[in-house]
Amino acid sequence: MKKIITTMGLAAFVFAGQAVAAEKGFEKIFDGKTLKGWNGNPKFWSVKDGAMTGQTTKENPTKGNTFIIWEGKTGDFDLRLDYKIIGGNSGIQYRSFKADGPDEWRIGGYQADFEAGDTYSGICYGERFRGILSLRGKKTTLTVGDNGKLKKEVEEFSKDADIAKAIKKEDWNSYRIVARNFNLTHYINDVKTTQVVDRDRKTRRADGLLALQLHAGPPMTVQFKNIRIKELPKRARKAGNAKEGSNNKNK
């Protein structure tokens, strides 16, 4: 019995070591106790049970989408967090910009979407930034057509319904976003949900703000925890793709 227990203990130690190694290089950007390092409307954002919590009620609605904004910036990165949503819609903004609005908590840019419903969790949405960019189960390459309008080349890598099965309702899910150059990939519960290759050189963004959304509409609650980010080194681009580094930062 002693030998079995020792073996089990060793296995647990090895597994823990592997988990730590997998997280090497990540910076924890929410302490689980305060909103230090974040800027959001205190009418809606607080810390409850160790989770960053955004909440609206019938008596305290938000007029338009509002965000809590991290004080840092995102360029090429690997972001991981856990979320839970009850009612409504939310999302994780990245490489984003301050947008016009009645207060300082309005944001636009790439969004890793999620919701209480069945349609949008995992997609890439452009908040004030070209609308839906890539649906669930799709790899979407964005270009500009001869008419100057956004053009999408879409490849399917998974069925929407299969991805939906991996997403838990009113419970904790893990979200991961990997952004390297202009290749953006989302995962929920370790399942790839969508991928964007943004070749719209005039509009795409190479860096910007990170923020979490509280959506306008019916009362809702969204929570986040275990938020950590790792900056990724820039990959060298081939000479023929030198213009891939172009970026419109005048949003």
Tens of pLDDT, residues 37-49: 999 999 999 999 9
Within a domain: 151: yes
* pLDDT at residue 13, as a whole number: 46
Strand, coil or helix: 118: coil
Structural Rg of the chain based on CA atoms: 19
* pLDDT at residue 235, as a whole number: 72
Beta bridge partners of 176: 80, 187
- The count of domains in the chain is 1
What letter would DSSP give residue 167?
P
- Beta-strand relationship, 191-198 and 138-144: parallel
Within a domain: 4: no
Within a domain: 33: yes
15: pLDDT strictly greater than 90: no
239: pLDDT strictly greater than 50: no
Q: Which has the higher per-residue pLDDT, 41 or 5? A: 41
- Can you say whether residue 44 is alpha, beta or left, with left for phi > 0 and alpha for psi between -120 and 50 degrees? alpha
What pLDDT band is residue 248 in, cutting at 50, 70 and 90? low
* pLDDT at residue 10, as a whole number: 52
Q: How many CA atoms lie within 13 A of 177 on its CB side?
A: 31
The whole-chain average pLDDT of the chain stands at: 90
Contact between 229 and 78 (Cβ < 8 Å)? yes
Taking residues 184-206, report their average pLDDT.
Answer: 98
Percentage of residues in the chain with pLDDT exceeding 90?
A: 83
Within a domain: 222: yes
Within a domain: 243: no
Within a domain: 142: yes
Within a domain: 148: yes
CA distance 38 to 12: 35
197: pLDDT strictly greater than 50: yes
Strand, coil or helix: 203: coil
CATH number at residue 123: 2.60.120.560
Sign for the CA dihedral angle at 184, 188, 189, 193 comes to negative
* pLDDT at residue 62, as a whole number: 97
What letter would DSSP give residue 163?
H
pTM for the model stands at 0.87
Structural domain for 207, as ranges:
25-233
- Model confidence over 60-76: pLDDT tens digits? 999 999 999 999 999 99
Q: 164-170 long-range CB contacts below 8 Å, 24 or more apart? A: 164/118, 164/121, 164/136, 166/191, 167/114, 167/121, 167/122, 169/116, 170/84, 170/85, 170/86, 170/116
Within a domain: 251: no
Taking residues 93-119, report their average pLDDT.
Answer: 97
| String of DSSP letters for 14-74 | HHHHHHHHHTTT-EE---SS--TTEE--TTTEEEETTEEEEEE-SSS--SS-EEEEEEEEE
